[in-house]
Amino acid sequence: MSISQPLVSVIIVNWNGKKWLKKCLDSLRSQTYKNFEIVFVDNASSDDSIAYVEKNYPEVLIVRSDTNLGFACGNNIGIKKSSGDLLLFLNTDTWVESDFLEELVDLYISNNFVAVGPLEAAYETGLKRKPYTSTIDLFGWPVYRPTNEVGIIESFYLTGVCFLTSKEFYLRSGGLDDDYFMYSEEVDWFWRLQLLGEKCAYTSVAYVYHAGCGSGSKGVQYTTFLWRNQNTLQMLLKNYTWYNLLWVLPIYLIQNIFEFLAFLLLLKPKIAWSYVEGWCFNAMNICKIFRKRKIIQKRRETSDFEIIMKMFFGFGKLYSLFQKVFPNK
């Protein structure tokens, strides 16, 4: 292994994403950085994804799962089969430019960040988003905020669409939580990194071209709300100190109740019910969640005050809605 060119394991978790694979895998084949492997984890796809990869990309290591294990567990299975010193998490519905890996690896080696990631750009048009940071509000909702920074942009967390970290650190930190089927798994992991006093950053030099919802559905979907309601609450329970949970949880639950009632009024009872299911899920798994919490709180090196100062003060859902209605503000 060359110190300047460590082996990178590109972990791709796939579920019925055949339509995205050619552009994604072709873009990886074109990389100027050559010391990498591709670990392709298939979550019981029914669209011949495996046959397509076997025929057209024989260099790819395929890991088969008999059931759909979700994003976090799928990545963790792939990592067990990987050989690289560095891990690149990459969604199927993406493509990257030829110098992408070279730029990211150079950024990682040259700086004191435990994880680095590219900014996002539009999959079809190639339009690059203006530089931004990603954080969460006090209740765990993701918030993207525009910034005037260029080059290296320190952030609370990096989107799970694509980021680079070391295998050794990933395993030592506990990695993505297998109990998060989809959504918030990367936010939870990066919150734990913040608790350990570590830092992560985007780079405006490299971009990942992302379609979005490659393995899911757009719009108001029951499963999307269910997984987010399950995962956000357990994330709060695991990562906050107990005295901050005393005020965060009541406000979080009140917010949930308002949203529950709003969806009932909008004649979307199934979406409303997903909030109740999220609470029930956490109640039924509270012992397991608290066992994880005990480990996290024992290892933490950063106070909640320092963490909260990096969060968004306000309700992230309202801010995100405002951004959609007034995108230029």
Pairwise CA distance, residues 262 & 250, whole Å: 18
Residues 182 and 237 reside in one and the same domain: no
Q: How far is CA 122 from CA 91, 125, 254, in A?
A: 14, 6, 36
The pLDDT value recorded for residue 219 is 58
Query: For residue 205, what are the CA distances in angstroms to 47, 201, 248, 280?
Result: 35, 12, 37, 44
Query: What does the H/E/C string look like for the chain?
Result: CCCCCCCEEEEEEECCCHHHHHHHHHHHHCCCCCCEEEEEEEECCCCCHHHHHHHHCCCCEEEEECCCCHHHHHHHHHHHHCCCCEEEEECCCEEECCCHHHHHHHHHHHCCCCEEEEEEEECCCCCECCCEEEEEECCCCEEEEECCCCCEEEECCCCCCEEEEEHHHHHHHCCCCCCCCCCCHHHHHHHHHHHCCCCEEEEEEEEEEECCCCCCCCCCCHHHHHHHHHHHHHHHHHHCCHHHHHHHHHHHHHHHHHHHHHHHHCCCHHHHHHHHHHHHHHHHCHHHHHHHHHHHHHHCCCCHHHHHCCCECCCHHHHHHHHHHCCCC
The answer to whether 200 touches 219, Cβ cutoff 8 Å, is no
Q: Which residues in the chain come in under a pLDDT of 70?
A: 1-3, 213-219, 324-329
What whole-number distance in Å separates Cα of residue 194 and Cα of residue 173? 11
Total domains in the chain come to 2
pLDDT value at residue 57: 96
**Residue 71 CA: distances (Å) to CA of 12, 179, 260:** 10, 10, 27
Domain match, 189 and 78 both: yes
Q: Is residue 3 situated within a structural domain?
A: no
Q: Structure pTM?
A: 0.92
Same domain, 18 and 141: yes
pLDDT at residue 327 in the model: 62
Indicate whether 125 and 188 sit together in one domain: yes
pLDDT of residue 3: 52
* CATH number (domain holding residue 198): 3.90.550.10
pLDDT of residue 196: 96
Does residue 216 lie in a domain region? Answer: no
Q: Are residues 196 and 260 in the same domain?
A: no
In whole angstroms, give the CA distance from residue 265 to residue 195.
39
Q: What is the SS3 string spanning 87-119?
A: EEEECCCEEECCCHHHHHHHHHHHCCCCEEEEE
Residue 267 inside a domain? The answer is yes
Query: pLDDT value at position 325?
Result: 66
pLDDT of residue 216: 52
Structural domain boundaries enclosing 39: 8-210
Please indicate, yes or no, whether residues 37 and 117 belong to a single structural domain of this protein.
yes
Q: What is the structure's pLDDT at 9?
A: 98
pLDDT at 1: 38
| Same-domain check for residues 197 and 148 | yes
CB 54 within 8 A of CB 32: no
pLDDT tens across 175-193, in order? 999 999 988 999 999 999 9
Same-domain check for residues 230 and 104: no
Q: What pLDDT does 203 receive? A: 94
Q: Are residues 118 and 30 both part of a single domain?
A: yes
Work out the number of other CB atoms within 10 angstroms of the CB of residue 115.
25
Instruction: Indicate if 163 and 292 belong to the same structural domain.
Output: no
Whether 215 is in a domain gets the answer no
